[in-house]
Amino acid sequence: MADNLRENEEGELYDSSDEEEEEEEQQQQQNWEDWEADEDEEEEETESNVLCLFCDSVYGSSGALFEHCTSTHSFDFRRIRKTLALDFYASFKLINFVRSQVVQNICWSCGLHCQSNQDLHNHLHEGVHDLHGATPKDGTLPWNDEKFLNPFMIEDPLLYSFDEDDECEDELTTSSDKEKLLRNLSSFEQISMSVENENDTETCTSSLSTSFENGLKKVASSPDEYLDRENPEKAMVDGFASYMGSSNGKSEGIQSRISSAKVAEKRVINANKNYFSSYSSFGIHREMISDKARTDAYRQAILDNPSLLKSAVVLDVGCGTGILSLFAAQAGASRVFAVEASDKMAAVATQIAKDNGVLWTGNQNKGDGRCSEVIEVVHAMVEELETSGHIQPHSVDVLVSEWMGYCLLYESMLSSVLFARDKWLKPGGAILPDTATMFVAGFGKGATSIPFWENVYGFSMSCVGNELVAEAAQVPIIDIVDDNNIVTNTAVLQTFDLVTMKPEEMDFTAMIELKPKLDCPSNEFSLESKTSCCYGVVLWFETCFTTRFGKEMPTVLSTSPYAPKTHWSQTILTFRDPIAIVSGQLFAEKSAAVGTESCPAVKVLSRISIARAPQHRSIDISVEMAAVALDGRKRSWPAQIFNLC
């Protein structure tokens, strides 16, 4: 205390610590204001750097840029968008398409390949109907390709602002969901980057991670008034997104992407390390093995199809304890490669195989002629096997893996299975399981926490339940949903054929239509009005060991609310606001909003996108809803973004 005493002008002593604290607070406030000012300047700089689609001109807004493009380059973006009735996503793709064509000196409209950029500028002409010979009615617009949903130019401000002043809105796409979708589109990163020579940028190769809308898929059964019936073919973008500008800018852009790729690669390595370490816990393996539906399905598919496994070479991807490899050995496989990336579990699987007398020692045959020592545990990621020489290319008869995660695609292990299929499976070889299907349905209040809090020993605590439901709308919930709480029909979200699918098909968008379930229990539907509330959607999956390979005994493993419980449970996505639905005809107030009790919906249309997230092994889920009343009126809600990580 004495150290803080000072003498003022009148000779009186006072405590200087308060003065010092006040000065420190003022300094912090000044630093905060300086930081905010710097941030505002950065934002202003970003906002004023919109690069022209055709030349090096830079403008302060998308509006000014489009005026320039119209007058100088005969490219009237607004007119093209209106004439072709392009929605937000198609417009997004158009911008990336034009940039990709200009960098190659190709006319975006007619496809003419010019000798130079100047020749292209001299050639540019207005073109709306003359698009590579296609008219809008043909549905073959040249930018109708999913690769154009990946930003062609890194950090392209135009993609964030092209529809600022435009009133042409997609019915299910509001400003708030565009912001969220764009944030995710812009955060895509190059993973699995391999740089042979840092001084030679031409040797760089990359694998693009995907955005919410990568792999856009339309469902033909959806109503005409709701969706575009385009069904573009899926494609991956090879190499880097190109940079428009000078040669120096291009070089700097590539070098910047190399640096970013190294950071991304390090994140992937760390994510893999954490992922495989998490499977070192015996508790996880006990939970999986104790899942009777899961383990019995695999056991039946392997042991009850003797013609498939007898004398076969088997590859078990992600073997864990090696239980599937043990089944394969028991079924008569001649050799089983059990691949496991976790240090601990690879050692455990080796010991288990040894303890059970099936560990590969090089002595294939016992004295009785039986082949029992067949399991070789390989400690590696399956992607690393190619250089190890453990397995010869296309030498495997049967590929087996329990790769499924929550919501089927969480953990992204499916890509490893497809990699193994392409590298080591023989032509015509078997994959177990060989198909997977995702399903979706709407759930009612009974699947939320609201009923519990409505009556707590005779007291209403509904405010707690309502707050919990609001919080649940922010994150996906993994839990069991009782089939009595399903209030709509079940719709197929996506089907995967593991024999033929490509890795990019893991990212998709699907349209579904949900209608009230007529046989729903009375506790969910009011007997008087036949109305209920849909509080969200629940996702689940099933994998099948079909007769394609399991000729003696096909098997289905289901995680449905209507099937026995599994450790996967179901994935619950809660709406911000419940949607009132009605089964049958009911008088509705025309002035009331669709989806309310005064005007319940007869069906709910939804667009659901699932894609691998920038955070390795995570997935992002986007859900958009539109309620349709009996008289045809519609009401849509902003998209909700869920991250399963």
Q: Contact at 8 Å (CB) between 640 and 619?
A: no
Candidates 512, 518, 490; CA nearest to 581 is 518
Cα gap 66→222, rounded to integer Å: 35
DSSP 148: G
Six-digit token pair at 88?
């937000």
Query: Any bridge partners for residue 435, and if so which?
Result: 497, 544
For residue 406, give the 3-state DSSP assignment: coil
DSSP 242: P
| Bridge pairing between strands 619-628 and 634-644 | antiparallel
Q: Which of 213, 373, 402, 513 is catalytic?
A: 402
Cα gap 123→420, rounded to integer Å: 49
Cα gap 516→518, rounded to integer Å: 6
Q: Contact at 8 Å (CB) between 215 and 234?
A: yes
Q: Is 554 left (phi over 0), alpha (psi -120 to 50) or beta?
A: beta
For residue 15, give the 3-state DSSP assignment: strand
Cα gap 399→431, rounded to integer Å: 5
User: For the chain, what's the residue count?
Assistant: 645
Cα gap 216→254, rounded to integer Å: 28
Cα gap 210→146, rounded to integer Å: 10
Cβ neighbours for 236, distance < 8 A, ≥ 6 positions apart: 147, 208, 504
Q: Contact at 8 Å (CB) between 210 and 189?
A: no
Cα gap 188→186, rounded to integer Å: 6
| 614 CB neighbour count, 10 Å cutoff | 18
Q: Contact at 8 Å (CB) between 441 and 488?
A: yes
Count CA within 13 A, CB hemisphere, residue 412: 24
For CA atoms 138, 141, 142, 144, the dihedral sign is negative
For CA atoms 282, 285, 291, 292, the dihedral sign is negative
Count CA within 13 A, CB hemisphere, residue 393: 4
DSSP 473-533: TTS-EEE---GGGB-B--EEEEEEETTT--GGGGSEEEEEEE-B-TT--TTTS-TTT-EEE
For CA atoms 563, 567, 569, 571, the dihedral sign is negative
H or E element: which one contains 643? strand 634-644
Per the annotation, the verdict on 411 as an active-site residue is yes
Q: Contact at 8 Å (CB) between 275 and 617?
A: yes
Cα gap 359→322, rounded to integer Å: 11
For residue 408, give the 3-state DSSP assignment: strand
Q: Which of 213, 340, 411, 513 is catalytic?
A: 411
Per the annotation, the verdict on 383 as an active-site residue is no
Angle ∠(607,611,614) on CA atoms, nearest 5? 135
Give the catalytic positions in this structure: 402, 411
